[in-house]
Structure 1
């Protein structure tokens, strides 16, 4: 005897970094005594060992709870309850199979005729050699075979064209059915409960469990205009659990529930000391290494297509959707609004000619929200509309966030480098190799007629930073034109260049790298 199935909808969802915690609620009418209930269907991806149930009302308690799954294969052919669209798909597939079979028969018949023509030509050769010619019969047979070959070849071409049209129609109907009618799941999951009620009456069942194939990432939309930025925060949610989440209380968490809680196994790591050889004492091995500095504008990192992890600053963050959310279980990305704020914007034109010939507009805004901004992609919007895509790093409440908008196309950058190598010092008394590099950057501002007013462009160049005493890097400030406004510990040299309309300025950077004679690998 099959039990009636009681619906068990999803009412609350907590999305984690790589999975989700679902909460389901059902209102039951219980009879007194022990009884069995079947609820669902649930997603087959539910994690059995995470199942938790709570029953309130009618003095009831849960004696046993388990998830049961059943597999029902999909019907191969038409079914009585098929929709008209699916019936058209089945008809198109049947017509395509018939066209393919007809084309195969025609191709096979053409092959037989080719074989027959070869046999007849062989008979003509043998009969002529034996002085037993039959020209009339041979001519009639060849004419009949040639006529039938021409007819079948024309039919084969027509069948190929018809088969191609049917294949296109079948593919179009298949896409339409897939988008309009999600396939019925082959694997179904139900919750089987055994409960005991002291008295008949209503009860509320709450079920919680983990599920895979459901996760989230933060995303933002920055609208720049009127000296201010409106920064809207969204949660991009994916879920392919096989069921829709309709009107659920959505919570977003950066917790990593499956992170290993056990300490790693310690491996033996032996350290040994040895005397340096005479060659090693005479040589210092160095190498040039590129370090990525996380800055915005042209010097920023390239955007990748892979899904990044959540950057929460090392502390678990929990966000709540302000309104009930609906997320279909189609595996696609769905945006859920979380909130927004307006803040004053400080705009700065930034150029990094070593990485890009473009000038970016770096906008600084203060996070006035009560929650931190997690790292994520940002859609950049101006008054004219969407202008590009950027990246927002983790920003605590009250901290300043920077966004790189595409700059104006009125700037042109041209970068030229020259290098000279020489030596300094006497042999045997500290002789050093000196490399002097000169970098020239030409910055041009081309404006439309009638444009007035200066604009300041922040130009950034870099010099190497040495980590060993045998290699020295020195900036020739007296040879730089103009002198740099600032040089930080990471070797970033900065100028602030005021540019009037239709003017050009040249910035010269000169630095030297000197290494002792025992340095190798530079």
Structure 2
């Protein structure tokens, strides 16, 4: 049976493995949330007996403990040992003959920069000495003039000579500073071009040493796999709204900086978290105790008005680059064809799937949150797989309209996308509140009236109505001591529906240039025992 014993060393290959290594290209990659599993394949020309082979080079970021190698089943051969051997080759500061013309130019500019800096420093020192010499000469002139000694011709010659030298060296210093500024700008351009055109040559190179035992000579196919860091992926989407249909393209954004390019590989994308601990959490005791209420607690009921978001499934949003939301189940996606991803650390878009379906669009308004009216599109998920949470590029008739967010959507479920606000629809909100206390039971009644004014600004010649779904919330009581009642007689018009979360909805049809007003009234009443309302 084939087996492997992965080990890791950092030394030069043994004489038995000397010579040109056997190529070990990447043939398949499974990209995880924060790393990748790389599979490699090579055809070996084996000899009878035990032999050690050197393959590679491979990424120096390969995880040694995940290294696994095996030969094709049915062949009279087995893997006795497999290990990663890393060699370090320090590079000197001087350019080599193998460097590119751009890198040679960079070294020349850096050498010239050092030379000009030295010349600038020497000119600074010389100008400082000339300045001190001028001070000494002026002091000598003052002292000689005070003592009655005068030699104006010599003083004039010395001052003229000092001024001429200071002007000459000052001009050379300005020329050197200007050249340094130009070199800094040119070096920045060359470094940007070098970073875009080629990477820094690696000092750490890794190879794989495989010890194989074969009963007979002949070719054999070796498969090797390992984990590697510096690779990840995230789902992205592109939604194109064309009339009553929507085309949703599912893509994967892949980054990798493993040190080797992935050229024409079979790419698989997985939401598995290999680094996540599998140990279940420990259970602790949670003791519950019953206590008698005090007389003050029996007389009063403390309440408070709080705001809560409607509960939904899925993880809480986080800032920055979020993790992959897979709905709690590992999802696997395969690229439809060979994929090439260079090791440059940049984002590369890989198409996964695409579907077109009839879309239901509505104009939604939530005046309490925003005076804008947004276009919301709902479409069934017909991609055949789950749509993971991720950013969406929104495109409609006028072109790119912005970027939104798609929540996790199971196969067959309805996906909801917001295509931005509509400039010709606006809503204004006004709220009034009154409080009354009286009656035999001393009940407190809080009456709240909300008035909404919708307007549509239409271009000349525009026809057709637009239906706007307006939503306004009503408080929901959790205790029987507080009652919430919708005053339908004071509403104009009455809400078309009110759900269990207290969200009232109206479907308002607006003609071109039309205006509508909505009035919502409700009251919150509580007895004398209720405090905090």
**TM-score scaled by length of structure 2:** 0.88
Q: In the alignment, does 2:67 pair up with 1:51?
A: yes
Using the TM superposition, give the Cα deviation of residue 85 of structure 1 relative to its aligned residue in structure 2, in angstroms: 1.5
Match of 1:368 in 2: 382
2:522 aligns with one of 492, 506, 511: 511
Using the TM superposition, give the Cα deviation of residue 105 of structure 1 relative to its aligned residue in structure 2, in angstroms: 2.0
**Aligned equivalents of 2:479, 2:156: Cα separation in 1:** 97
Deviations 1:177-234 (Å, cap 9, x if unpaired)?
1111111112211111111111111011101111122121111111111311111111
Q: Secondary structure at the match of 1:337?
A: strand
Deviations 1:28-84 (Å, cap 9, x if unpaired)?
101111111111111122111111110126511111111121222333221111211
1:323 aligns with one of 334, 337, 350: 337
Using the TM superposition, give the Cα deviation of residue 269 of structure 1 relative to its aligned residue in structure 2, in angstroms: 5.7
Q: In the alignment, does 2:225 pair up with 1:208?
A: yes
Using the TM superposition, give the Cα deviation of residue 291 of structure 1 relative to its aligned residue in structure 2, in angstroms: 2.8
Q: In the alignment, does 2:91 pair up with 1:74?
A: yes
Within 5 A, what are the aligned runs for 1:237-386? 237-266=254-283, 286-293=303-310, 306-386=320-400
What CA RMSD, in Å, does the superposition of the two structures yield over aligned residues?
2.7
Match of 1:299 in 2: none
**Aligned equivalents of 2:35, 2:167: Cα separation in 1:** 64
Distance 1:205 1:136, change over 3 A: same
Q: In the alignment, does 2:505 pair up with 1:498?
A: no
Using the TM superposition, give the Cα deviation of residue 362 of structure 1 relative to its aligned residue in structure 2, in angstroms: 1.2
Distance 1:274 1:305, change over 3 A: closer
Contact 2:443 2:525 in 1 (8 A): no
Q: In the alignment, does 2:415 pair up with 1:401?
A: yes
Match of 2:47 in 1: 31
Deviations 1:473-501 (Å, cap 9, x if unpaired)?
44333222221111222222211111011
Q: In the alignment, does 2:195 pair up with 1:174?
A: no
**TM-score scaled by length of structure 1:** 0.90
Distance 1:482 1:79, change over 3 A: same
**Aligned equivalents of 1:111, 1:265: Cα separation in 2:** 74
**Aligned equivalents of 1:79, 1:359: Cα separation in 2:** 64
Match of 2:4 in 1: none
Contact 2:83 2:208 in 1 (8 A): yes
Match of 1:94 in 2: 111
Contact 1:442 1:504 in 2 (8 A): yes
Distance 1:454 1:121, change over 3 A: same
Within 5 A, what are the aligned runs for 1:420-499? 420-425=434-439, 430=442, 432=444, 434-469=445-480, 471-499=482-510
Deviations 1:300-330 (Å, cap 9, x if unpaired)?
xx99862222222222111111111111111
1:21 aligns with one of 37, 41, 63: 37
Using the TM superposition, give the Cα deviation of residue 248 of structure 1 relative to its aligned residue in structure 2, in angstroms: 0.8
Moved more, 500-509 or 141-150: 141-150
**Aligned equivalents of 1:49, 1:260: Cα separation in 2:** 17
Using the TM superposition, give the Cα deviation of residue 350 of structure 1 relative to its aligned residue in structure 2, in angstroms: 0.8
Contact 1:234 1:335 in 2 (8 A): yes
Distance 1:158 1:425, change over 3 A: farther
**Aligned equivalents of 1:280, 1:103: Cα separation in 2:** 84
**Aligned equivalents of 2:266, 2:230: Cα separation in 1:** 19
Using the TM superposition, give the Cα deviation of residue 10 of structure 1 relative to its aligned residue in structure 2, in angstroms: 0.9
Distance 1:253 1:122, change over 3 A: same
**Aligned equivalents of 1:184, 1:285: Cα separation in 2:** 70
How many pairs were matched up?
513
Using the TM superposition, give the Cα deviation of residue 438 of structure 1 relative to its aligned residue in structure 2, in angstroms: 2.8
Q: Secondary structure at the match of 2:422?
A: coil
**Aligned equivalents of 2:341, 2:290: Cα separation in 1:** 61
Distance 1:437 1:196, change over 3 A: same
